[in-house]
Chains A and B, each alone.
Chain A
Amino acid sequence: MTTLYACSHVDSPLPPLPPSYPSSSSSFSPLSNLYFCEECDAIRCNLCVAVEVASYFCPNCLFDVPTANVRADKNRCARSCFSCPQCSSSLSIQGTDPKGEASSSATFAPGPPYILVCSGCRWSSKEVGWEFEKPTGIALQSQKMNSLPETIQSEYDALKDHLEPYVSNATPPVSSAGAARRPSRHISQMTQMASKALNREVPGMSAISSRVRGSGSVLRKDGEQEKVGWDDLGEYGAKGSWKALGLERGLQDVETMRKLDHSGAGGLATLESRWGMSWELDKMSNAILPQRISLQTKLTKRCPHPNCRHLLIQPDVKSIRMKIKMVAMNYLPHIEIGRKRRRILGSDTLGYVDDSPTSSEEIERRRRERRRTRAPTAKEEDEEMDKPLRAGEVYIYKLALTNPLYDPIQIRLTQPHGPRNAPQPNHHLHIPTQHFTINALKDAWAYDEEDEQDDPAFGGSEAGVSEEGTVTSGTGTGTGTLSKKSRLNVLAGGSVREKRSRGETGVDKKGNTSVVGLEVEVSSEAKGKVEFDLEVRYTYRADEVVEQVDKVKEEYKTFTFWIRVNVGVVV
């Protein structure tokens, strides 16, 4: 029972692929996770927005780490936050009293040395021999205590110095000619080889090619062409040899095996706890060292459109508020599905279910017939929403649309057309009420006054729509199109009244929510999930209302989006 909203991912808005294509699921997300770019007038989702880090903070001490320090701190908290090597919860600092007298004499707080203790699993840093003199700045103290063996550290520093110029140089050097993009270090070896092949000397062409390329590159005296713009990463020579450490004899592994014999397989650290380690250390679980807690980020999100790049989300570093928050929830009607009822078919109508309809005309004919015959024969029975569907049954749902805007909106509900050769869906969808309106969002106390009577202001604005004529109800691409006459009626705001006179109200309005019916006829051989897409087009009054002296001109705009409704599983 979910409704998901489609995001076209920077593409121009088009109906998504039907639910029978599993790949289409990537463009759907819940409304609460979507953004809305006002400039592009489009929905954006987490998969397509451009993300920048606004700030870094430690999730344990909640300290905002300046961006300049993050790299030096290796993306981890540089204060006193450590996570337990056994259970990954945060460690607390505890004083010890080696003499055992502080606990008896009530006035003394426990003093140094301090240890890290896990309140979750009672692990303590005594097990790995970590003890500190001060209860603050544990990270610094542990760094001093636990630096790596000299050989490894110096090798690491040398390697870091060697790579430093390339790492810190964010933009790859631009070639002097600047005409062609040369492969930078970001491009794989494969591309480099391909481009080398392209630039290969062709016999007989050397004179021309050297002349052409002469502008872009310089020929050295020894004939070797200098690679302009290529990464000139020099060879790195190791300072020491791994053989000097005695690693080739595998003594470490022998040691590990010996410990394993002693402890059994349970003594081995889990992969999960070794995952976050920077480098290979002891594999035994009782030798794993606590790690500093990784920093978390607050993210700024931008519209991914190359010509837009407007901010969609800008968090406030100091609080939970957002400075900019362009979320789809404030623009699109919120749609929910509920109130499932199963139709108990009379014996004369059972025949419909068995013959599988072939043409759209056939479906249309049946629909009309059903509408005519519905009232007297069909009985309906309430069912639990999570109860599995049964093949060959007709279910009636209610679809509730909630308007987030301070203006009334008009809705058109249709079923989008899938690709021509898409697999047949396992059900037929019928939307009895395709055109209706939703009242404006108001402050809570304003609703009471206007309940139970038609909103006069709203009726006026509806009339405004039809008079102005800026809105047409599209080309009627829905599977069950209304006749021209009734479409006009909808625009004139007559549909509700008309329906009421016929004894059934297609739309239930309450506050800024309108509820309409929806019929799903599960075909007799259906299996698996029953999902369908709906195209929702809504017409709203644009913000820019141009007021002239004698005439108020109101501009109406439409926005179309697609939702996917999952109504359950057939068993």
Chain B
Amino acid sequence: MGAFDTVITYEKGTYIETDTGNKVSRKATIAGAANIILGGKSIIQTGSILRGDLRRSTAGQHVVISMGRYCLIGEGTVLRPPGKMYKGAFTFYPVRISDFVHIGPGCIIEAAQIGNGVEIGKGCILGKFVIIKDLAVLLPDTVLPEGTVVPSMSVWGGNPGRLVDTLPETYQETMEAKCKGYYQRFRLAS
């Protein structure tokens, strides 16, 4: 699979590679890096914004954004934790992103949970506390209102987003191969 996919290159010095193989653009805005966990081999592209500084107001260590392996945060995507009034105080809740998650360019994500093998097309808007279960596809320009639940093996699209299709049983393998392939093709320009 992916025999004819072309290499995606970046200029030297524009991306920082971590020990675990994460590639983070120098032009990405990452606030509160101490509260963000990357699982390894994930790519954070130019212009994206990760709001790790929006943490729970109580004292102690809080993970705000946790991300698994082989994830992609597309160009200009904003990822911020959802927050709401709870017992009279405004509180942020953590974002959990599992492995093999591709988030396209220009998205705004305020989801609470994104499962394994989820592909989010470009320009999607995910409201607060959206839950996306394992293996789902959001077509480009989907808008999910606050608190929407996207079940496994489904395709969602439209504004407001609704279920439009189901995925074939092979989707897990397809998505994992796609994410691994993308990571391998994302290289330094030589």
B160/A320 in contact, CB under 8 A: no
Interface residues of B (CB under 8 A from A): 1-4, 87-89, 116, 127, 133-135, 143-149, 151-154, 160-163, 168-174
A-B pairs with beta carbons under 8 Å apart, 20 shown: A62-B151, A87-B160, A88-B162, A89-B148, A90-B147, A92-B146, A92-B147, A118-B145, A119-B127, A119-B146, A119-B147, A121-B160, A313-B169, A320-B116, A322-B169, A339-B4, A398-B4, A400-B4, A513-B3, A515-B3
| Cα(A329)–Cα(B89), bound, Å | 52
| Cα(A159)–Cα(B73), bound, Å | 57
Chain B CB within 8 A of A378 CB: no
B4/A338 in contact, CB under 8 A: yes
Chain B CB within 8 A of A523 CB: no
Give A488-535 interface residues, CB cut-off 8 Å to B. 513, 515
Write out the residue numbers on chain A whose beta carbons fall within 8 Å of the beta carbon of B171.
32
| Cα(A364)–Cα(B144), bound, Å | 58
Least Cβ distance of B127 to chain A in Å?
7
Binds B, one of A53-61, A273-281, A369-377: A53-61
Smallest CB gap from A59: residue in B: B151
A61/B149 in contact, CB under 8 A: yes
Give A328-380 interface residues, CB cut-off 8 Å to B. 329, 334, 336-339
| Cα(A435)–Cα(B59), bound, Å | 69
Most chain-A Cβ atoms within 10 A of its Cβ — which of B1, B2, B161, B174?
B1
Write out the residue numbers on chain B whose beta carbons fall within 8 Å of the beta carbon of A327.
169-170
Smallest CB gap from B166: residue in A: A296
Most chain-B Cβ atoms within 10 A of its Cβ — which of A119, A313, A337, A513?
A119
Q: Mark A42-76, 1 if CB is under 8 A from B, else 0.
A: 00000000000000010111100000000000000
Chain B CB within 8 A of A270 CB: no
B4/A106 in contact, CB under 8 A: no
B3/A402 in contact, CB under 8 A: yes
| Cα(A385)–Cα(B5), bound, Å | 11
B168/A320 in contact, CB under 8 A: no
- A interface residues, tally (CB under 8 Å): 38
Write out the residue numbers on chain B whose beta carbons fall within 8 Å of the beta carbon of A400.
3-4
Chain B CB within 8 A of A325 CB: yes
Given A59-B149, A320-B135, A89:B161 Cβ within 8 A: yes
B154/A59 in contact, CB under 8 A: yes
Chain B CB within 8 A of A463 CB: no
Write out the residue numbers on chain A whose beta carbons fall within 8 Å of the beta carbon of B1.
334, 336, 402
Write out the residue numbers on chain A whose beta carbons fall within 8 Å of the beta carbon of B170.
32-33, 327, 329
Interface residues of A (CB under 8 A from B): 32-33, 57, 59-62, 87-90, 92, 106-109, 118-121, 296, 313, 320, 322, 325, 327, 329, 334, 336-339, 385, 398, 400, 402, 513, 515
Least Cβ distance of B155 to chain A in Å?
12
- For B88, give its contact among A106, A120, A402 (CB under 8 Å): A106
Write out the residue numbers on chain A whose beta carbons fall within 8 Å of the beta carbon of B88.
106-108
| Cα(A119)–Cα(B145), bound, Å | 6
Q: Top 6 closest A-B pairs, CB basis? A: A338-B4, A106-B88, A400-B3, A120-B145, A119-B146, A120-B160
Write out the residue numbers on chain B whose beta carbons fall within 8 Å of the beta carbon of A59.
149, 151, 154, 163
Write out the residue numbers on chain B whose beta carbons fall within 8 Å of the beta carbon of A120.
143, 145, 160
Least Cβ distance of B185 to chain A in Å?
14
| Cα(A92)–Cα(B169), bound, Å | 31
Least Cβ distance of A325 to chain B in Å?
6
Smallest CB gap from B131: residue in A: A62
Least Cβ distance of B130 to chain A in Å?
10
Smallest CB gap from A33: residue in B: B168
Write out the residue numbers on chain B whose beta carbons fall within 8 Å of the beta carbon of A119.
127, 145-148
Write out the residue numbers on chain A whose beta carbons fall within 8 Å of the beta carbon of B146.
92, 119
B153/A89 in contact, CB under 8 A: no
- For B149, give its contact among A90, A325, A398, A515 (CB under 8 Å): A90
Write out the residue numbers on chain A whose beta carbons fall within 8 Å of the beta carbon of B154.
59, 296
Write out the residue numbers on chain A whose beta carbons fall within 8 Å of the beta carbon of B134.
320
Least Cβ distance of A515 to chain B in Å?
7
| Cα(A108)–Cα(B144), bound, Å | 29
Least Cβ distance of B153 to chain A in Å?
7
B169/A109 in contact, CB under 8 A: no
Write out the residue numbers on chain B whose beta carbons fall within 8 Å of the beta carbon of A107.
87-88
Least Cβ distance of A41 to chain B in Å?
20
Given A119-B127, A402-B1, A320:B153 Cβ within 8 A: yes
Write out the residue numbers on chain A whose beta carbons fall within 8 Å of the beta carbon of B174.
32
| Cα(A336)–Cα(B2), bound, Å | 8
Least Cβ distance of B68 to chain A in Å?
15
Most chain-A Cβ atoms within 10 A of its Cβ — which of B89, B135, B169?
B169
B160/A88 in contact, CB under 8 A: yes
Write out the residue numbers on chain A whose beta carbons fall within 8 Å of the beta carbon of B87.
107, 109
Given A339-B4, A513-B3, A329:B173 Cβ within 8 A: yes
Given A32-B168, A33-B168, A107-B88, A90:B4 Cβ within 8 A: no
Write out the residue numbers on chain A whose beta carbons fall within 8 Å of the beta carbon of B152.
320
Given A89-B145, A320-B152, A320-B153, A336:B3 Cβ within 8 A: yes
| Cα(A145)–Cα(B154), bound, Å | 34
Write out the residue numbers on chain B whose beta carbons fall within 8 Å of the beta carbon of A108.
88
Least Cβ distance of B108 to chain A in Å?
15
A106/B3 in contact, CB under 8 A: no
Write out the residue numbers on chain A whose beta carbons fall within 8 Å of the beta carbon of B147.
90, 92, 119
Least Cβ distance of A314 to chain B in Å?
10
Least Cβ distance of A30 to chain B in Å?
8
Least Cβ distance of A57 to chain B in Å?
7
